[in-house]
Chain A
Amino acid sequence: MTNPSAASPRRWGLAICLLSLAMALWVLQRQLPLATLPAAIWQPDLSDLAQLKVHYSWLPRFCVALLCGAALGLAGLLMQQVLRNPLASPTTLGVASGAQLSLALATLYAPGLLIAGEWVALAGGGLATLLVFALARRRGLSPLSLILAGLVISLLLGALNVMLMLLQPMGLSAMFIWSAGSLSQNNWDAVLFLLPRLGLALVLITLLVRPLSLLELDDSGARSLGLSLDRLRVVALALAVFMTACVVSSVGVIGFIGLAAPTIARLMGARTLRQRLVWTPLLGAALLLLTDQLVQGFAGRLSELLPTGGVTALLGAPLLLWLIPRLRLSTGRPQPSTQRTVSQPLGGHRLLPLMLLGLLLLAVVALLLGQGPQGWNWSLNPELLQWRLPRLLAALGAGLLLGLAGCLLQRLTGNPMASPELMGISAGAALGLMLTLFVWIGAPFWVRLIMGFAGALLVLLVIVGFARRQAYAPERLLLVGIAISALFDAVKMLVLSLNDPRGQSVLSWLSGSTYFVELPTGIMALLAGVILLLASLPLSRWLTLLPLGESTPRSLGVPMRGARLSIMLLAALMTAIATLLVGPLSFVGLMAPHMARVLGLQQARAQLLGSALLGALLMVLADWLGRNLMFPEQIPAGLLAALLGGGYLIWGLSRRR
């Protein structure tokens, strides 16, 4: 981490704290003559509404902002300290989304449990954390792989959350507001809930200060001082998850404070752990308070709608983008992914015709078999086929493209966790589209296509810009993706929480519905898939060599820059088209190349073909299942694919040991 200013942390920290307090005071004096403030605080006149509002709404909200900000900052600091990972935080490790989903499930199916909401959230957050660690463990828990695993899990849990929202659009409108982190209060319950729990956590943290500060040494150094590292890590992480769960269960997901506060504390010059333990919670509290008062003070009519947590996330994404070039990551560069060049059991190539056959069979079934008013039936009725065919073709094309894009990216970065979803290109396309849907409700397909593509292209440009500066270091590419996904997630949550009737159609597209695909679009999707497949086959040599690291391919005459740039462009184009067809939510780009490799398709060319076929297979399956599982309700293909993908990931994990 570069440290630009040598200024003492005190000066900057105090400045931020004072600024937020001044802002709070300014908002307060607009509601109430300050002369009556003491009365409003201690003994409000029950017939004076201004005093009531200050006492039961503004003041508890003020306290909740401080408490939650401090708690999230501390949680982030703990995670960063024990994982030695400057990007760890409740949101980036998936803890917050785990807590969120478990609460959403409880709301819908077991509302009785909500009495102990923090334990529900704790269970969800803890489970999500375990999953993240399980996913990242094989890569030695390197900072990058942990963050990537966190993103995968967040996306998966987010997909489940979207599915709940989609099927229960009205019952969950509270969930929209809450999941975007609304701080508004109408009594002191939340304060009284948070205070003892966070106080307890704080006491425990102070007990851990000494061992934690020994972690500044490297592992062996710390161990030689008689420290049980694993136990310390588990305890500290559990504390962090607990604090996050308390915050999430009382006010929802507040993005990025947990990442920003410790980072800014360090940038301000707080070096020792003790210094950071003091400044991080102060900064977290001040940042959240400042954001919240800004929302209250300036959002005007929107101030009730705008959930503060969404706004912090919105502000946090640029911060992350700014941070990335300044981070010094011990990348734990993954071993070349030609790992264990095992003898291919089925001789790889012989599998490909089988896959093609399977795909064709599935396509025929998806086209002819479906549900109607009288249950399941086979049908050749052209009136039905006119609906099924475009969707089938779109799913086919999108799956093909995503599988290919995933394969390209994984080979490019030498990282089996890379995928188009994780590069943020899908998110970029989604942002463009969301904008269109809100500015022009009934925008025709081609307008949406252009806007989506523009969004994807913009992200691509950002990525290329970063990549050039970073000499195409693959990790940075993925980090850009994480920042953009986070930005997109914040925008999505804000849009949904506005409770606008248009939110529903945004939601449907976001979850990857093929409903609005027309036949020409479907045909073009398939054509695009086939053409780009053919275009990527000549790259096989590069794709074989690139995962071997920097020097080997160079010595074999691979033009590194050109090769990387062309692969990236190709992958981005594929992702953009696929996103327009099935939304940004599927894991097909992650899953298909992985399955291909597991099935023994190790060579670049074979893996490309296999990924394309498997991607198409998965997407067609997802679309068909989505149309029929809950008939007449239709689950969008992208969403179903994401759920299949999540299941596959978890199954894959449990199988490995």
Chain B
Amino acid sequence: MRRLGLALLLALLPHLALADAPGEPRYSRIAAIDWGLAETLLGIGVTPIAVGGLENYRRWVGEPVMPDSVQDLGLRTEPNLELLTQLKPDLILITPQFEAARPWLEKIAPVKSMAIYRPDSNPLLTATEVTRELGRLTGHEAEAERLISDLDQHIAAVRAQLAGRTLPPFYLVSFIDDRHVRVFGDSSLFNAVLERVGLSNAWTGEDNYWGFNQAGIEQLAETPDAALIYFAPMPLSAEQTLARSMLWQNMPFVRAQRVHAFPPAWQFGGLMSADHFLRLLQEALPHD
């Protein structure tokens, strides 16, 4: 009996050893349903073959620019299976948000789900983990490490640049209409960036684990000495009417001219988005 056990163990040994070795395939034809994962792929030098909701990516994320070779999979909640089948990806990346489609996607290629946004976690840290994981999966470990360290250096540089200056806390918002904003709080990616460079978020209210809450603009008056950053795209109704809104015109940050208009930057992205935000921040804050 014991001998049998030993024989079994011996027979298994090579397999055990193999499982330990970096034997996982290196993926190269990757379809990314989520934009945060797609941009991270670009950041580590891998062009995904297909991305969900490409048109909206161009409108809402902007940077990094998706090359023209990337195919649009249509709605992210229902990526086009027929198209995906014909594109023959070797890996499909999703986030828990798009988990519903997993059983279908798994019939086309292996599916990996990666969450940058989870309850009670810092998205900058999880985004770093996800970047490493993507590097490992694609064999671009070095590039992944470089992306991570580049961001760290960039953060350190901005932090040094801002050191010793007293800057107001910032509201980070995107407009829903002329009366409502999405305001980004504690659990948001950009909040993590703010904190790392030594700035603070003016919104102290609750947010969901995606890091935002919906608020009426008058709620932004609660921190009177704050500045405000808002991200494009701006809904038309807001653009036209904000100028006429007395409440808006009398908001402390508007009266003190502490309002910064930013181009689109993906608030639900990964390290690339964090870096993009950092660059925008650097340009917007006065140099001296």
| Chain A residues near B (Cβ < 8 Å) | 46, 49, 52-53, 55-57, 107, 111, 114, 166, 169-171, 173-174, 177-178, 182, 184-189, 301, 304-305, 370-373, 383-384, 386-388, 441-442, 498-499, 501, 504-505, 508, 513, 515-516, 518, 627, 631-634
Is there contact, CB below 8 Å, between B82 and A177? no
Is there contact, CB below 8 Å, between A501 and B210? yes
A384 to B103, CA, bound (A): 16
Give the distance to chain A from B60, nearest Cβ to Cβ, in Å: 6
A49 to B58, CA, bound (A): 38
Is there contact, CB below 8 Å, between B218 and A516? no
Is there contact, CB below 8 Å, between B99 and A634? no
A518 to B224, CA, bound (A): 55
A46 to B247, CA, bound (A): 10
User: What's the A-B contact tally at a CB cutoff of 8 Å?
Assistant: 139
Is there contact, CB below 8 Å, between B245 and A516? no
Tell me whether B186 is interfacial, beta carbon within 8 Å.
no
The residue in B83, B241, B244 that gathers the most chain A C-beta atoms within 10 A of its C-beta is B83
Give the distance to chain A from B108, nearest Cβ to Cβ, in Å: 8
Give the distance to chain A from B117, nearest Cβ to Cβ, in Å: 10
Q: Which residues of B contact A387 (CB under 8 A)?
A: 81-82, 85, 104
- Which 9 A-B residue pairings sit nearest by Cβ, starting from the closest? A174-B177, A186-B247, A56-B247, A632-B80, A632-B74, A633-B74, A186-B245, A515-B78, A187-B246
Q: Which residues of B contact A505 (CB under 8 A)?
A: 77, 100
Tell me whether B219 is interfacial, beta carbon within 8 Å.
yes
A127 to B235, CA, bound (A): 27
User: How many residues of B sit at the interface, in one of the four size bands?
Assistant: 35 or more
Q: Which residues of B contact A173 (CB under 8 A)?
A: 176
One digit per residue, 1 when the CB lies within 8 angstroms of any chain A CB and 0 when it does not, for chain B 83-104 equals: 1011100000000010111011
A386 to B106, CA, bound (A): 13
- List the B residue with the shortest CB-CB distance to A112: B236
Give the distance to chain A from B107, nearest Cβ to Cβ, in Å: 7
**13 CB-based A-B contacts, threshold 8 Å:** A57-B216, A114-B240, A169-B56, A174-B238, A177-B176, A184-B216, A304-B180, A304-B215, A305-B214, A373-B86, A383-B85, A515-B101, A627-B82
Tell me whether B221 is interfacial, beta carbon within 8 Å.
yes
Give the distance to chain A from B285, nearest Cβ to Cβ, in Å: 26
**160-215 of chain B: CB within 8 A of chain A:** 176-180, 182, 206, 210, 214-215
Q: Which residues of A contact B238 (CB under 8 A)?
A: 174
Is there contact, CB below 8 Å, between A53 and B72? no
Is there contact, CB below 8 Å, between B237 and A107? yes
Q: Which residues of B contact A386 (CB under 8 A)?
A: 107
Give the distance to chain A from B176, nearest Cβ to Cβ, in Å: 5
Is there contact, CB below 8 Å, between B218 and A57? yes
Is there contact, CB below 8 Å, between B245 and A187? yes
A185 to B244, CA, bound (A): 12
Tell me whether B73 is interfacial, beta carbon within 8 Å.
yes
Q: Which residues of A contact B233 (CB under 8 A)?
A: 171
15 new A-B contacts, CB < 8 A, other than A170-B60, A177-B177, A634-B78, are: A49-B252, A53-B247, A57-B216, A170-B56, A171-B59, A174-B235, A186-B245, A189-B241, A371-B83, A384-B82, A508-B77, A515-B101, A516-B104, A631-B83, A632-B71
Is there contact, CB below 8 Å, between B177 and A504? no
- List the A residue with the shortest CB-CB distance to B217: A186
Tell me whether B250 is interfacial, beta carbon within 8 Å.
yes
Q: Which residues of B contact A304 (CB under 8 A)?
A: 180, 214-216, 219
From the candidates B82, B99, B224, B235, name the one contacting A370 in the complex (CB within 8 A): B82
A627 to B82, CA, bound (A): 9
Give the distance to chain A from B77, nearest Cβ to Cβ, in Å: 5
Tell me whether B75 is interfacial, beta carbon within 8 Å.
yes
Give the distance to chain B from A596, nearest Cβ to Cβ, in Å: 33
**216-260 of chain B: CB within 8 A of chain A:** 216-219, 221, 224, 233, 235-238, 240-241, 244-248, 250, 252
Given A49-B221, A633-B75, the answer on whether A57 and B247 have CB atoms closer than 8 Å is yes
Q: Which residues of B contact A301 (CB under 8 A)?
A: 206
Give the distance to chain A from B151, nearest Cβ to Cβ, in Å: 26
Q: Which residues of B contact A632 (CB under 8 A)?
A: 71-74, 80, 83
From the candidates A107, A441, A499, name the one contacting B99 in the complex (CB within 8 A): A441
The residue in B104, B224, B238 that gathers the most chain A C-beta atoms within 10 A of its C-beta is B104
Q: Which residues of B contact A499 (CB under 8 A)?
A: 176, 182, 214
Q: Which residues of B contact A518 (CB under 8 A)?
A: 103
Q: Which residues of A contact B214 (CB under 8 A)?
A: 304-305, 498-499
Give the distance to chain B from A615, nearest Cβ to Cβ, in Å: 24
Q: Which residues of B contact A384 (CB under 8 A)?
A: 82, 85-86
Is there contact, CB below 8 Å, between B83 and A52? no
A513 to B218, CA, bound (A): 39
A634 to B77, CA, bound (A): 11
Is there contact, CB below 8 Å, between B87 and A373? yes
Q: Which residues of B contact A504 (CB under 8 A)?
A: 76-77
Given A174-B177, A632-B71, the answer on whether A186 and B236 have CB atoms closer than 8 Å is no
